[in-house]
């Protein structure tokens, strides 16, 4: 019974159908299936498959994003149940994510958030044009492992450095990964960021690496 | 709405046809085949036997034009309809009868052999952009007298797509028709297909060439007659060379093209009225520096688009030779000329556009170029689909819930429609970031095409084939090869 359900769960992710994935999550709860198993053995294989297909060019951004949305919908159903029973989902890490101050470019950052979430990270997406002070405050509040910073403009890229300097000044134990069109390896070295990725799929691997996974 | 370019006004088309009819009377057409002259003579044309010149009155020509089918269909080996010749349907096939192959490593033009043709066929079979196969290169290790049907044999063995081919002599044409008939869907298992079945569901069209200016050779006119009688589609490949073997003006060449095609149609329809025939060609301008005939010149494409419009005005299926280049390697010139001219042909609504994969005045073929040209063809075909209304409201419904956020990527409609709205190119087309491009090896188009070609060849699988038919094909070819003194057929790879 649960094997069959797990297959349907993976398929709902492949189909990018957030209504079906939420229904299936509810069905699992009603049937007494361990919510954690539903995530790990049901929905996760779907996310992995879409990710692999995307990486080799057989799937496209809309499919990737819809898969992420379907995963989010499933987690939204399953997470309260886990909390209630005292079992918390084992998250791979907590990530505070934002596009830096002065920059309103959103698509790449949101994509990274979706991918991180569906891969098992807990993501706090603060949106765009986020001042450094707010970012630091949020990271401290939630006990973030990673701060993810996006910038699309060469003029706002400098804010990535500002955040890193602030983290160092305060001696916070949080790693910073950066991304965005103008970001180069040289820039990453110069500002001493902990990680950087070219795209959303790569960001997941970088975040996992930072977490020592 | 299929986007379209038209270079001629209706008045101009009338003038072109009027002058073409004048040329049919003065100077007339040189017809170097007695049987064709007889057909024309008994239809009321004035025949000068000593000079082999026939004057074709407009009334005789017009009668022939009326019996040409405005449309016909080419089938695959299983009898499924695949290609519609007629109207504004647009199809592409690789160029044909090259003599050399581009070595992708040394960039030398080497004489083409069997494995080269087999590679081209496999690549064309794998790429959906190609609607038909062609007998793309001459196999230099095979005796000339069997070369025509040997090429067809290799295509039949490796492909299920319809074929654009041709014969270089009257005798080989008969053999090729018999070879194709093996695969004609047949009602009788015992006969394994017949010429009648082939005529009913043709799988191939045969190129037949007049000689510029205004000449039908013995072999050209002979093939027209034989093809008409067999009911197998003919495709006239008229080749005015503007400024050398044709008037220097584009319009002058279009008039000559029309006169050659109309005289060909007259011979063809007199042999058997109602047989399918195509208003085709491979014209070129004449380069006044090098004395060469550039297929990639924009004026060449303009002649093609113009004569296609004339053919369409007569309701006759059309063909042209575009998508090729004079460049000797697969470089920027190759991409530019092939892509631009393929788009012109597509926008002119030409039914079959031959030429992809070819370099160096149609002398050299390259499977790698074939994979690159497929992308240009994919884009041209996307252009032909036009701008379409795919949603109830054009935009307003999709703005629901957007709230000034760039979240269209999350919409179900995006997932549903993106692959219809966008042609999804293969990774031959680089749309990566600079760092992604660097990380994947800093490759140029040709380097990416080499990788893709290899992948296509690895993934290729020979189409399912009735073993009895395959056996009949192979033993027919072996018999013919033996007659020509070749005891074993060359290895395929």
State yes or no: pLDDT of B186 exceeds 90: no
Tell me which of A212 and A86 has the higher pLDDT: A212
Say what the pLDDT of residue A137 is. 96
* In chain A, residues 121-180 whose CB comes closer than 8 Å to chain B: none
Question: Which chain B residues contact residue A110 at CB under 8 A?
Answer: 407
Contact B418 A60 (CB under 8 A): yes
* In chain B, residues 262-321 whose CB comes closer than 8 Å to chain A: none
Gap from B106 CA to chain A (nearest CA, Å) = 30
Say what the pLDDT of residue A185 is. 85
Closest CA to A130 of A112, A106, A111: A106
For tokens 């005292």, name the residue: A86
Gap from A62 CA to chain B (nearest CA, Å) = 5
Residue B156 CA, distance from chain mean position: 17
Residue A119: pLDDT band with limits 50, 70, 90: confident
Element (H, E) at B48: strand B46-48
Closest CA to B85 of B164, B186, B149, B6: B164
Say if strands B91-94 and B352-356 run parallel, antiparallel, or are unpaired: parallel
Is B413 in the A-facing interface, judged by CB distances under 8 Å? no
Residue B216: pLDDT band with limits 50, 70, 90: very high
- Going from N- to C-terminal start, the domains of chain B cover 66-385, 396-445
Nearest CA in chain A to B422: A60
State yes or no: pLDDT of B189 exceeds 60: no
Question: Which chain B residues contact residue A16 at CB under 8 A?
Answer: 412, 415
Helix B412-421 / helix A61-84 crossing angle, nearest 10 deg: 160
C-alpha–C-alpha distance, residues B11 and B483, integer Å? 56
Which segment of A3-12, A53-62, B106-115, B244-253 scores lowest on mean pLDDT? A53-62
Residue B170: pLDDT band with limits 50, 70, 90: confident
Average of pLDDT values for A186-199?
91
Pick the residue of A62, A118, A200 with the most B CBs within 10 A to test the interface with B by mutation.
Answer: A62
Closest CA to B160 of B479, B384, B460: B460
Is B485 in the A-facing interface, judged by CB distances under 8 Å? no
Kindly give, in sequence order, each residue whose CB lies less than 8 Å from that of residue B226, ignoring residues fewer than 6 positions away: B170, B173, B174, B177
Beta bridge partners of B127: none
State yes or no: pLDDT of B192 exceeds 60: no
Average of pLDDT values for B451-459?
98
C-alpha–C-alpha distance, residues A205 and A54, integer Å? 14
State yes or no: pLDDT of A62 exceeds 80: yes
Say what the pLDDT of residue B88 is. 97
Gap from B408 CA to chain A (nearest CA, Å) = 9
State yes or no: pLDDT of A181 exceeds 90: no
Residue B18: pLDDT band with limits 50, 70, 90: very high
Compute the mean pLDDT over every residue in chain A, rounded to the nearest whole number.
91
State yes or no: pLDDT of B164 exceeds 90: yes
Gap from A57 CA to chain B (nearest CA, Å) = 8
Contact A16 B412 (CB under 8 A): yes
Kindly give, in sequence order, each residue whose CB lies less than 8 Å from that of residue B72, ignoring residues fewer than 6 positions away: B84, B85, B86, B202, B233, B276, B317
CB atoms within 10 A of CB B50: 6
Which class is domain A2-84? Answer: mainly alpha
- Going from N- to C-terminal start, the domains of chain A cover 2-84, 94-210
Is B403 in the A-facing interface, judged by CB distances under 8 Å? no
Half-sphere exposure of B266 (CA within 13 A, CB side): 32
Say what the pLDDT of residue B308 is. 98
Please state which architecture CATH assigns to domain A94-210: 3-Layer(aba) Sandwich (3.40)
Kindly give, in sequence order, each residue whose CB lies less than 8 Å from that of residue B469, ignoring residues fewer than 6 positions away: B182, B183, B192, B193
Kindly give, in sequence order, each residue whose CB lies less than 8 Å from that of residue B38, ignoring residues fewer than 6 positions away: none
Contact B414 A106 (CB under 8 A): no
Residue A1: pLDDT band with limits 50, 70, 90: low
C-alpha–C-alpha distance, residues B452 and B450, integer Å? 6
Contact A66 B435 (CB under 8 A): no
Residue A51: pLDDT band with limits 50, 70, 90: confident
What angle (nearest 5°) sits at the alpha carbon of residue B129, between those of residues B456 and B469?
Answer: 70
Contact A66 B436 (CB under 8 A): no
Structure tokens at B407: 């979240």
Nearest CA in chain A to B427: A57
Average of pLDDT values for B76-84?
94
Residue A20 CA, distance from chain mean position: 21
Beta bridge partners of A153: none
C-alpha–C-alpha distance, residues B319 and B355, integer Å? 11
Closest CA to B208 of B178, B181, B228: B228
State yes or no: pLDDT of B402 exceeds 80: yes
State yes or no: pLDDT of A104 exceeds 90: no
C-alpha–C-alpha distance, residues A93 and A207, integer Å? 8
Average of pLDDT values for B57-62?
98
State yes or no: pLDDT of A82 exceeds 90: no
Q: What is the pLDDT of residues B276-287, one digit of tens each?
A: 999 999 999 999
DSSP state of B423: -
Which region, left, alpha or beta, applies to residue B349 given φ > 0 means left and ψ of -120 to 50 means alpha? left
Residues in chain A: 213
DSSP state of B328: S
State yes or no: pLDDT of A14 exceeds 90: yes
Say what the pLDDT of residue B194 is. 86
Say if strands B100-102 and B364-365 run parallel, antiparallel, or are unpaired: parallel
Question: Which chain B residues contact residue A181 at CB under 8 A?
Answer: 433
State yes or no: pLDDT of B435 exceeds 90: no
Say what the pLDDT of residue B313 is. 98
Q: Which CATH number fits domain B66-385: 3.90.105.10, 3.20.20.480, 3.90.600.10, 3.30.360.10?
A: 3.20.20.480
Which segment of A186-190, B236-240, B441-445 scores lowest on mean pLDDT? A186-190
Say what the pLDDT of residue B114 is. 97
What is the Cα gyration radius of chain A? 18
Which segment of A54-63, A158-167, B352-361 scores lowest on mean pLDDT? A54-63
Say what the pLDDT of residue A114 is. 86
Please give the C-alpha separations between residue B177 and each of B148, B166, B208, in angstroms, as whole numbers. 11, 10, 14
Gap from A204 CA to chain B (nearest CA, Å) = 16
Is A104 in the B-facing interface, judged by CB distances under 8 Å? no
Q: What is the pLDDT of residues B203-213, one digit of tens each?
A: 999 999 999 99
Which segment of A39-43, A104-108, A119-123 scores lowest on mean pLDDT? A104-108
Say what the pLDDT of residue B434 is. 85
Question: Which chain B residues contact residue A58 at CB under 8 A?
Answer: none
Average of pLDDT values for A136-159?
94
State yes or no: pLDDT of B147 exceeds 60: yes
Beta carbons of B446 and B330 less than 8 angstroms apart: yes
Is B405 in the A-facing interface, judged by CB distances under 8 Å? yes
What angle (nearest 5°) sits at the alpha carbon of residue B64, between those of residues B46 and B352?
Answer: 125
Average of pLDDT values for A149-162?
92
Average of pLDDT values for A122-148?
95
State yes or no: pLDDT of B180 exceeds 90: yes
Beta carbons of B430 and B437 less than 8 angstroms apart: yes
Q: What is the pLDDT of residues B463-482, one digit of tens each?
A: 999 999 999 999 999 999 99
Residue B384 CA, distance from chain mean position: 18
Element (H, E) at A112: helix A107-118
What angle (nearest 5°) sits at the alpha carbon of residue B290, between those of residues B285 and B294?
Answer: 35
State yes or no: pLDDT of B116 exceeds 90: yes
Question: Which chain A residues contact residue B409 at CB under 8 A?
Answer: 61-62, 65, 107, 111
Gap from B415 CA to chain A (nearest CA, Å) = 5
Nearest CA in chain B to A202: B436
State yes or no: pLDDT of B47 exceeds 80: yes
- C-alpha dihedral over B152, B154, B155, B160, to 10 degrees? 130
Say what the pLDDT of residue B50 is. 97
Is B414 in the A-facing interface, judged by CB distances under 8 Å? yes
Residue B188: pLDDT band with limits 50, 70, 90: low
**What is the three-class DSSP state of B412?**
helix
State yes or no: pLDDT of A91 exceeds 90: no
Say what the pLDDT of residue B264 is. 98
Beta carbons of B216 and B270 less than 8 angstroms apart: no
Beta bridge partners of B54: B29, B47
Say what the pLDDT of residue A105 is. 86
Gap from B435 CA to chain A (nearest CA, Å) = 7
Beta carbons of A160 and A194 less than 8 angstroms apart: no
**pTM score of the predicted model:** 0.91
- What's the complex ipTM? 0.78
């Amino acid at each position: 019974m649960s094997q069959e359900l797990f297959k349907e769960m993976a398929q709902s992710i492949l189909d990018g159908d957030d209504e079906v994935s939420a229904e299936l999550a509810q069905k699992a709860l009603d049937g007494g299936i361990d919510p954690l198993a539903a995530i790990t053995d049901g929905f996760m294989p779907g996310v992995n498959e879409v990710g692999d297909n995307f990486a080799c060019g057989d799937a496209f951004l809309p499919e990737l994003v819809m898969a992420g949305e379907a995963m989010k919908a499933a987690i939204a159903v399953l997470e309260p149940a886990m909390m209630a029973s005292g079992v918390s989902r084992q998250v791979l890490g907590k990530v505070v994510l934002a596009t830096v101050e002065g920059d309103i470019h959103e698509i790449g950052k949101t994509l990274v958030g979706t991918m991180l979430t569906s891969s098992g990270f807990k993501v706090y997406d603060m949106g765009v044009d986020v001042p450094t002070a707010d970012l630091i405050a949020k990271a401290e509040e939630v006990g973030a492992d990673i701060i993810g910073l996006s910038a699309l403009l060469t003029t706002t890229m400098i804010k990535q450095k500002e955040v890193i300097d602030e983290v160092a000044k305060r001696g916070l134990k949080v790693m910073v990964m950066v991304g965005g069109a103008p970001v180069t390896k040289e820039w990453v070295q110069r500002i001493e960021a902990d990680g950087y990725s070219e795209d959303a799929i790569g960001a997941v691997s970088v975040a996992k690496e930072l977490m020592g996974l | 709405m299929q986007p379209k370019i038209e270079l001629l006004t209706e008045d101009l088309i009338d003038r072109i046809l009027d002058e073409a009819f004048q040329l049919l009377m003065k100077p007339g057409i040189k017809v170097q085949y007695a049987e064709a002259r007889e057909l024309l003579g008994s239809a009321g044309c004035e025949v000068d036997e000593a000079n082999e010149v026939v004057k074709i009155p407009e009334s005789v020509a017009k009668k022939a034009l009326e019996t040409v089918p405005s449309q016909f269909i080419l089938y695959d080996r299983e009898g499924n309809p695949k290609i519609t010749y007629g109207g504004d349907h647009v199809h592409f096939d690789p160029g044909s009868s090259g003599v050399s192959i581009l070595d992708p490593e040394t960039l030398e033009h080497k004489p083409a052999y069997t494995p080269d043709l087999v590679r081209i066929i496999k690549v064309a079979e794998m790429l959906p952009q190609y609607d038909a196969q062609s007998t793309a290169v001459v196999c230099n290790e095979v005796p000339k007298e069997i070369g025509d049907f040997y090429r067809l044999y290799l295509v039949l063995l490796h492909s299920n797509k319809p074929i654009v081919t041709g014969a270089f002599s009257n005798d080989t044409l008969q053999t090729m028709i018999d070879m194709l008939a093996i695969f004609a869907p047949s009602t009788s298992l015992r006969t394994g297909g017949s010429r009648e079945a082939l005529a009913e569901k043709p799988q191939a069209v045969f190129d037949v060439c007049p000689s510029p200016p205004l000449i039908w050779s013995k072999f050209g006119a002979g093939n027209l007659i034989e093809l008409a009688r067999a009911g197998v589609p003919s495709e006239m490949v008229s080749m005015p060379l503007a400024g050398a073997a044709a008037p220097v003006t584009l319009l002058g060449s279009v008039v000559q093209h029309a006169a050659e095609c109309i005289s060909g149609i007259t011979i063809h329809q007199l042999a058997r009225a109602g047989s399918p025939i195509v208003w085709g060609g491979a014209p070129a301008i004449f380069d006044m520096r090098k004395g060469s005939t550039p297929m990639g010149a924009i004026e060449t494409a303009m002649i093609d688009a113009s004569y296609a419009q004339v053919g369409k005005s007569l309701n006759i299926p059309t063909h042209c030779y575009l998508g090729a280049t004079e460049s000797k390697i697969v470089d920027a010139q190759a991409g530019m000329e092939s892509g631009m001219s393929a788009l012109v042909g597509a926008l002119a609504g030409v039914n079959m556009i031959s030429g992809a994969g070819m370099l160096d005045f149609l002398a050299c073929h390259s499977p790698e170029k074939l994979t690159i040209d497929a992308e240009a063809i994919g884009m041209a075909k996307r252009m032909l689909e036009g701008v379409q209304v795919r949603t109830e409201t054009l935009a307003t419904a999709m703005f629901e819930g957007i709230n000034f956020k760039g979240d269209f990527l999350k919409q179900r409609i995006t997932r549903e429609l993106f692959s219809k709205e966008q042609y999804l190119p293969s990774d031959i087309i680089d749309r990566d970031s600079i760092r992604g491009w660097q990380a994947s090896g800093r490759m140029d188009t040709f380097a990416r095409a080499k990788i893709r070609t290899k992948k296509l060849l690895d993934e290729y699988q020979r189409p399912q084939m009735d073993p009895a038919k395959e056996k009949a094909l192979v033993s027919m070819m072996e018999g013919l090869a033996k007659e020509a003194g070749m005891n074993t057929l060359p290895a395929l790879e």
